[in-house]
Structure 1
Amino acid sequence: MKWWLDFSSDAFIVAFYLYCASFICFAIAVAGKRWSNRKPEDHTNRWGKIGFGAAVVGWVAHLTFFFTRWYGGGHIPTSNMYEFMTFLGMAIMFAFIIVHLIYRNMILGAFAIPLVIIIIAYASVFPSEVQPLIPALNNYWLKIHVTTAATGEAFFAVGFAAALMQLIRVVDFTRTDKAGRRAQFWTEFSLFVIIVLVGFLVAVFGFRGAGYESKFSQETVTIDENGIANSEVKEVIYSLPPIVAPYNSDTISFQSFIGMSEPLFESPSWLNGVNAGRKLNTVIWSVIAGLVLYGILRLIARKKLTAVIHPHLSDIDPDDLEEISYRAIAIGFPIFTLGALIFAMIWAEIAWSRFWGWDPKEVWALVTFLFYSAYLHLRLSKGWQGTRSAWLAVIGFLVVMFTLVGVNLVIAGLHSYAGV
């Protein structure tokens, strides 16, 4: 079985590099058409076709990774954060291929494929070893629930990419009135949120490569049903410099960083979970790294990043982008509803003997369902089109990402096993 797992890892690496090559080709198709001596259409189509071909081959390699890991590990590889995020990346690529074959829009790849690359890189932060299934996960409904939910979210991601392109395409950077500045700010902020996620990856891989590590011992006290207090001391390991120490903890070892010899403050007591302080520390570092990365990009560009992208989208009809976004969400919504709600409740009844328990992940899955229900209702019944529907598509996917990332990394619950 080890051979299959090694082969699976190799296929995953091949898929990642092919996705990177695909993005480069799509980026050349978008940016290079301005300096090409050929007709813009010829240049875009040539590089776009190469990029799409690389994406398809990369997806086949990714699919090979999925099935060989399944065979080598003995269960479907969606049981922890690493496996789920790699599956989500594969599902987003599948959704992009489907939407691309329908609309033949080459430039969509320049926005959709970076999402796949970021999500795969994010998955690599977590342990990649095959882990035995806990009893609650050892059920065939897991396969149905997780795969359908992730596929629905993948189509939401493609809808988000098209909607963000639409917003950058229609924003008027020459306007100086209040409404114009507000539109420019929120469009730039949407891009900044993505950069914060990239900043998280830069911070984690940077400090991990430098071998950074600090340790704390944290005492937790629980009271059993008889009213007897039980204390337990656990070790918490930080791979990022501890700005936030665990609540009620002592320092075992502290590796100083730029003169910081101790944490700046302690995690608040109302944050649940032994790793709550470490998770809050990760969020803070993600924002810091995102701000630094954004600042560097702004210094290089010397203007808003959306203003840099805007001229390269001038040849695209924003109505086409809105149609792509709407169709992608319309495809993903029923799939997500089945996977994240209906199939999830069936699995919850089998695993925990209740259909619904107000677990944070369940609550945010419901929030996501209600939000996209509102999106479809407002667009179809109330005529919300143009920038209003685009903003809803962007905000909706940010809700999805919080459900996937924020709930697992910040909020403790039954689904927190995925964030370990």
Structure 2
Amino acid sequence: MNWLDFSSEAFTAAFFLYCAAFISYAIAVAGKRWSNRDPQAHVARWSKIGFAAAILAWVLHLTFFFTRWKGEGHIPTSNMYEFMTFLAMAVMFAFIIVFLIYRNPLLGAFTLPIIIIIVAYASVFPSEVQPLNPALNSIWLRIHVTTAATGEAFFAVGFAAALMQLIRVVDLERTDKAGRRARWWTEFSLIVIIVIIGFLISVFSFRGAGYDAKFSQETVEIAEDGTVNSDINEVVYSLPPIVSPYNSDIVTFQPFLGMDKPLFEAPSWMTGVNAGRKLNTVIWSIISGLVLYGLLRLLARKPLIAVIKPHLTDIDADDLEEISYRAIAIGFPVFTLGALIFAMIWAQIAWSRFWGWDPKEVWALVTWLFYSAYLHLRLSRGWQGTRSAWLAVIGFLVVMFTLIGVNLVIAGLHSYAGV
């Protein structure tokens, strides 16, 4: 049996079942307004369908994980594709735990999209089996990575509940400055999510069309002894180049919408062979996300929070805050063990030091300090309501920067994870 092919098929099936589970939860939440007979029975029925689909998807996701492990010969968490797929599986596990406690279908309607986005984001990266970096060949890979991801998964569920809470309590009728500011920032939180979705749509659309452009870039380095070293690198774009690499020449370029060359060159201070390509990806993400947001606004003819808010009126905002807090309270000690304690033990074994101020280590510490502050302010200072919800939302943004920004943008000892 080809374990890797089987795991790939299981992963694809899991993705579509996650989508089906989200649709079922969305029908459970939104469709109760259309049910003329028994809205509660409608919610219960579709919620059960959604949970069953989610459980089946998770089982297939586990199948993918263990069959890929069997095919590779080591735990599949050693690169961005594998880690993000594991993170999605961990978020599903965290959702199951929290959902079984609170039995609220709204949680599924908000958490399943996060899982779907993470799975789709993982698919952007190469899925081929890659040689295991020697530093990763340790049992601590299994312990450190899995516990850290599980802690982050519970933070994701806390984020989903906190975002629901913010939309639930926002006042659409207030005209004062504070009211307008609250509406704008809540809507902006949705825009950030839509920008990520726009990025995924752009990548898969141009990938499906077979688009690519290539540049040759010359990099020059001056050594301490004055020696000048130059190197020629090839940079491949999968999105139409709005920004070309600094000090580069076009090798191949497929025209797009009348654009037969990049609009401008990446600034010289952006170092790294792929700096221009990364800037180009950020620009495409923002453009795609804003276009998608504009289309959604055009269809809805009102802010997206005004579309979602009516479906949240049946749930108490305090209950949403309790769900968010409990999820974060569960995830925090798990994250502490995985991202700090186990990571330091592994760092001592792999690099002969517990701490080295590597960017990933620093941002893991920043994440831990942020959630420590969240728990302290909520428990000791009485920060509840919207203040607590905003901390949960911002905290998960810090998590995502630690996972994505540090791995893909900032160079360091953990950069192998971005390959």
Does the pair score TM above 0.5? yes
Name the residue aligned to 1:352.
351
| Distance in 2 of aligned mates of 1:199 and 1:361 | 26
Please name the residue that 1:230 is paired with: 229
1:239 CA displacement: 0.4
Deviations 1:262-315 (A, max 9, x none): 222222233332111111111111011000000000000000001000000000
Contact 1:195/1:293 (<8 A) preserved: yes
What is the CA–CA distance in structure 2 between the aligned matches of 1:145 and 1:223, rounded to whole Å?
39
What does residue range 84-233 of structure 1 map to in structure 2 within 5 Å? 84-223=83-222, 228-233=227-232
How many angstroms apart in 2 are the aligned matches of 1:272 and 1:354?
A: 28
CA distance in 2, matches of 1:132, 1:251: 32
* Partner-residue secondary structure (3-state), 1:215: strand
Aligned partner letter, 2:63:
T
Task: Tell me the CA shift for residue 338 of structure 1.
Answer: 1.2
| Inter-partner Cα distance in structure 2 for 1:131 and 1:225 | 35
User: Is the CA contact (8 Å cut-off) linking 1:272 and 1:411 kept in structure 2?
Assistant: no
Which is further off, 226-235 or 249-258?
226-235
Q: Give TM-score, length-normalised by structure 1.
A: 0.97
Contact 1:243–1:264, Cα closer than 8 Å, also in 2: yes
Q: Distance in 2 between matches of 1:369 and 1:380?
A: 16
Alignment map for 1:236-255 (pairs within 5 Å) = 236-255=235-254
Q: How far apart, in 1, do the equivalents of 2:296 and 2:379 lie?
A: 39
Does the Cα contact within 8 Å between 1:29 and 1:44 map onto a contact in 2?
yes
Shift of 1:143: 1.2
Report the equivalent of 1:71.
Answer: 70
1:224 Cα offset (Å):
5.4
Relative to structure 1, the CA distance from residue 222 to residue 134 in structure 2 (aligned partners, 3 Å threshold; closer, same or farther) is farther
Match of 2:35 in 1: 36
Report what 2:26 is aligned to: 27
**Distance across 2 between alignment mates of 1:241 and 1:349:** 43
Q: Letter of the 1:98 partner, please give it.
A: I
Equivalent AA in structure 1 for residue 322 of structure 2: E
- d(CA) in 1 for partners of 2:147, 2:247: 41
**Could you tell me which residue of structure 2 aligns to residue 326 of structure 1?**
325
Q: CA RMSD in A?
A: 1.3
Q: Give per-residue Cα distances to partners, 1:312-354, cap 9 Å, x unaligned.
A: 0000011111000000000001111111112112222222222
**Cα distance between partner residues in 1 of 2:246 and 2:381:** 49
CA–CA distance in 1 between the matches of 2:221 and 2:127?
32
Asked if the contact 1:92–1:151 (Cα under 8 Å) also holds between the matched residues in 2, the reply is: yes
What is the CA–CA distance in structure 2 between the aligned matches of 1:366 and 1:108, rounded to whole Å? 28
Kept in 2, the 8 Å contact 1:88–1:154? The answer is: yes
| Counterpart residue number, 2:388 | 389
- Structure 1's consecutive aligned runs of 4 or more residues displaced over 6 angstroms after TM superposition are none
C-alpha distance in 2 between matches for 1:334 and 1:115:
22
- Deviation by residue 1:68-125 (Cα, 9 ceiling, x = unmatched): 0001011110011100000000000000000001111121100000000000000001
- Kindly state the Cα deviation for residue 45 of structure 1 after the two structures are TM-superposed: 0.9
User: 2:80 matched to 1:81?
Assistant: yes
TM-score by length of 2: 0.97
CA distance in 1, matches of 2:275, 2:139: 31
* Letter in structure 2 aligned against 1:13: T
> Which stretches in structure 2 are left out of the alignment for 5+ residues?
none
Confirm or deny that 1:304 pairs with 2:303: yes
Partner SS for 1:368: helix
Give the letter for the 1:42 counterpart.
A
> For residues 65 and 122 of structure 1, what CA distance do their matches in structure 2 show?
17
2-structure distance, mates of 1:197, 1:229? 41
Paired with 1:57 and 1:154, the residues of 2 have a C-alpha distance of 19
Report deviation, 1:393. Answer: 0.3
2:267 paired with 1:262: no
Cα deviation, 1:127-160, whole Å, max 9, x if unaligned, reads 0001110111111111111111110100000000
Structure-2 change in CA distance of 1:278 and 1:14 (3 Å): same
Count of aligned pairs: 419
Indicate the residue corresponding to 2:294 in structure 1: 295
Contact 1:280 1:410 in 2 (8 A): no
Give 1:39 shift: 2.0
Distance across 2 between alignment mates of 1:356 and 1:116 = 32
Q: Residue 151 of structure 1 contacts residue 335 of structure 1 at CA under 8 Å; is this kept in 2?
A: yes
The amino acid that maps onto 1:143 is: R
Contact 1:196 1:290 in 2 (8 A): yes
Identity %: 81
Q: Distance in 1 between matches of 2:10 and 2:130?
A: 20
Farther off after superposition, 399-408 or 25-34: 399-408
